[in-house]
Each structure stands twice: as C-alpha cells, then as structure tokens.
Amino acid sequence: MFKKMFGKKEETANKEIVLAPATGELVSLEEVPDPTFSEKMMGDGIAIKPTDGTFVAPVSGEVVNLFPTKHAVGILSEAGVEYLLHIGLETVTLEGEGFEAHVKQGDKVQAGDKLITVDLDFIAEKAASTITPLVITNETASIDKEESKSVTMGETTVITVQTK
C-alpha cells in the first residue's frame, strides 16, 4: 500500500523480455567462433544455432539499422535498449545473396515480427558459420541470460534485461 502512496516503482516495470529471434539451439556468446562476439567487443548477449531460415524481432521497437547486405539488423527497443542481430559469421562477404529483408530502416516492429529470411543451406555452405549472435550494444543495468536449450522464434525467452 505504501509503495502505491509514495510512487515507488515495481521492479518489473524496468525489465524487458527478449524473445528468441530464431528457432534452434541457444548457446552462450563465449561459444561463438569469432572473437568479436565471444569476447563481447560488440556487447553481451546470446547466440543461436538456427535450424530454420526465418529471423524475427526479439523485442518491440524500431529498426534503426538494416545493413545493405541484409546480414545484420539493429533494433532500438521501446525501453531504449539497442540490439544487434547478426545472422551467421562472415556473412557480410555474401553481399546479400541468400538473404531477404522483410523490413526497412525506420520500420516499427513488434516482438515476433518477421525481419529477415535466409537460405540456411546456402549460408552454411558459403559463410564461416550459421551461428547467429544477438547482442546488446548499449549499456543496461544488467542482463540475465538463459542457459543452453532449444528455442522457438518469437516464443522462448532468451534474455531478461534490467534497464536503468
């Protein structure tokens, strides 16, 4: 009762749930065979070994960056957290081949909206890996990452972010 009277915020008000951007196997970022991600140079997060070529928005927000090669997309969530979804490793060298974007920069998206579809077999053959990192590129208070498990795009929680 006193919390309501004195305007103290509930802790849940500052939490953001991040859903799996792809269906597959959740792995720790440290397992990504690229030091840019495994050493968290881009930020902390998770990675998924996808079993399907559809990638969806992990949170609701705005597409703030869609790389011309369509291999990566940046989303600014409604809570002000910046996410980078990087589909596969060394996929920039494919110059967009095998990728189809369903959004453009400036689009508003809801968690679970389709972002990009890829030819996963083509990526597996031509790129270093299909493993897909999802990282938070700006400062947050803290994040709680789920352990390795099978995940379903747009349904399974992979990260809980405690925002500032």
Known catalytic residue at 102: no
- Tokens (6 digits) for 115: 């972002």
Q: Single out the catalytic residue among 86, 87, 99, 101.
A: 86
- Tokens (6 digits) for 49: 């070994």
Other beta carbons within 10 Å of 150:
12
CB 69 within 8 A of CB 95: yes
Within the chain, where are the H helices? 2-5, 35-38, 120-126
What are the residue numbers of the active site? 86
